[in-house]
Amino acid sequence: MTGPIDPLARHGAGTGGARVREQDDHPHTGPIPPMSASQAPVPADDTPGYEGLATFCHRPWMPTLDDLAAHRPDVAVIGAPFDIGTTHRPGARFGPRALRALAYEPGTYHLDLGVEIFDWLDVVDAGDARCPIGQTEASHRNIRAKVGGVAGLGIIPVIIGGDHSITWPAASGVAEAVGWGELGLLHFDAHADTADIVDGNLASHGTPMRRLIESGAVRGRNFVQVGLRGYWPPPDVFDWMRKQDMRWHLMDEVWERGSPAVVTDAIARAVDGCRALYLSVDIDVLDPGFAPGTGTPEPGGMTPADLLRAVRRIALDTPLVAADIVEVAPPYDHADSTVNNAHRIALEVFAALAHRRRAAAGETPGLPGHDPHAQRP
């Protein structure tokens, strides 16, 4: 009963220590029976979404460009926790963390495509671009550097915002990497975000698309918008957009023709004469009934069933080199609906890219999936 305690004697330095301890701790009740097939530690990737380190989809954490350059994953998720460009309700700065921590993660096998996503696609979480509090220029500079650095390595950045102003630096960084003016941009949103200036702010979340066209990063004729509705912007802004040869598909057209027909046209126009495509999804393109957690909700929007398939189609059929998912503002969310919709947009991108990688290797979808380019069996 005397002498120093030897911690290794009970807990064990090698395998089996935990079970020995359980037996020792309960001498009168006997060993605790196993409750699962294996008592071995579960690999980090397989833990439930609410457990362990909150990286995106529990993917490896790889926050430096040096590590990314050495490892060369296919995709790097980058957080852009910035929201002082908002015009109404702030809160999107909490979007990246919410998407990492709160999404329901049921598994990683995409049923429609029959693909185990991470068997075919190497995805890492590259952490956040540093967004110093209250400083638009420094934040945007860091976003542009991080996203551009990733794209320059040939890695697909998937940026999680953040308000929509972050698309200005993010798409600029990508255009720098793949060719200035050679990048098409497909933009899902309730709002055009093409205002010249909002309350004196050139870097508002209502202005990024104008900045991208003015700078030449994206040509107007390859800038295509889907889902616009509501009461903003005014006609002089649409006049400017028309002069840039931009194409927009109002929500009214989506309602009338159906999403697949509109998306087919949008894709054709966005990639016409371009080397690469950037996909930007403002979560407020969804109806606020599906996505209440956002800063500027506009009733009458798309359904998740349509949007997820649109994103899948774009990632399957275009030279996609980058994507962002923005305007998730967790303080206004209910039941994590907005977070889960945004999270699944990223999964659709991953699954479609995984399918392409698998198809290139000559392999076919598993049950219950089918080839998305073939007639449904």
Q: With contacts defined by CB under 5 A, name the span among 44-52, 139-147, 156-164, 285-293 that binds Mn ion.
A: 156-164
Q: How far is the CB of 164 from Mn ion (least distance, A)?
A: 3
Binding mask 168-197 toward Mn ion (x if CB under 5 A, else -) reads ---------------------x---x----
The answer to whether residues 248 and 194 touch, using CB atoms and an 8 Å cutoff, is no
Q: With contacts defined by CB under 5 A, name the span among 161-169, 172-180, 250-258, 315-323 that binds Mn ion.
A: 161-169
Q: Residue 272 is encoded by which pair of tokens?
A: 């016409």
Cβ distance to Mn ion smaller for residue 189 or 333 = 189
Q: How far is CA 91 from CA 80, 193, 206, in A?
A: 12, 18, 16
Distance in angstroms (rounded) separating the CA atoms of residues 214 and 107: 42
Distance in angstroms (rounded) separating the CA atoms of residues 295 and 83: 10
356 binds Mn ion (CB under 5 A): no
Amino acid at position 29, single letter: T
Q: How far is the CB of 81 from Mn ion (least distance, A)?
A: 17
Touching Mn ion, residues 251-290 (CB under 5 A): 282
Distance in angstroms (rounded) separating the CA atoms of residues 296 and 162: 13
Residue reference for tokens 């362990």: 52
What Rg value do the Cα atoms of the chain yield, rounded? Answer: 23
Cβ distance to Mn ion smaller for residue 127 or 295 = 295
Q: How far is the CB of 281 from Mn ion (least distance, A)?
A: 9
Cβ distance to Mn ion smaller for residue 281 or 354 = 281
Q: Please provide residue 10's backbone torsions phi and psi, each rounded to the nearest 5 degrees.
A: -95, -40
Cβ distance to Mn ion smaller for residue 193 or 333 = 193
Per rule CB under 5 A, count of chain residues that contact Mn ion: 4
Q: How far is the CB of 122 from Mn ion (least distance, A)?
A: 30
Cβ distance to Mn ion smaller for residue 270 or 351 = 270
Cβ distance to Mn ion smaller for residue 86 or 340 = 86
298 binds Mn ion (CB under 5 A): no
Q: Is cis: bond before 48, omega within 30 of 0?
A: no
Q: How far is the CB of 279 from Mn ion (least distance, A)?
A: 13
> Which of 110, 164, 210, 211: binder of Mn ion (CB under 5 A)?
164
Cβ distance to Mn ion smaller for residue 206 or 372 = 206
Residue reference for tokens 């030897």: 6
Q: How far is the CB of 229 from Mn ion (least distance, A)?
A: 12
Give the Cβ contact number of residue 335 at 10 Å: 9
Cβ distance to Mn ion smaller for residue 228 or 354 = 228
Q: How far is the CB of 100 from Mn ion (least distance, A)?
A: 22
Distance in angstroms (rounded) separating the CA atoms of residues 333 and 354: 30
333 binds Mn ion (CB under 5 A): no
Distance in angstroms (rounded) separating the CA atoms of residues 4 and 200: 70
Q: How far is CA 342 from CA 66, 218, 314, 337, 345, in A?
A: 29, 25, 16, 9, 5
> Which SS3 state, helix, strand or coil, does residue 166 take?
helix
229 binds Mn ion (CB under 5 A): no
Please count the residues of the chain.
377
Q: How far is the CB of 88 from Mn ion (least distance, A)?
A: 12
CA angle centred on 329, ends 327 and 335, rounded to 5°: 125
Q: Residue 274 is encoded by which pair of tokens?
A: 């371009």
Cβ distance to Mn ion smaller for residue 193 or 298 = 193
Q: With contacts defined by CB under 5 A, name the span among 78-86, 160-168, 253-261, 354-362 that binds Mn ion.
A: 160-168
- Chain contacts with Mn ion (rule: CB under 5 A): 164, 189, 193, 282
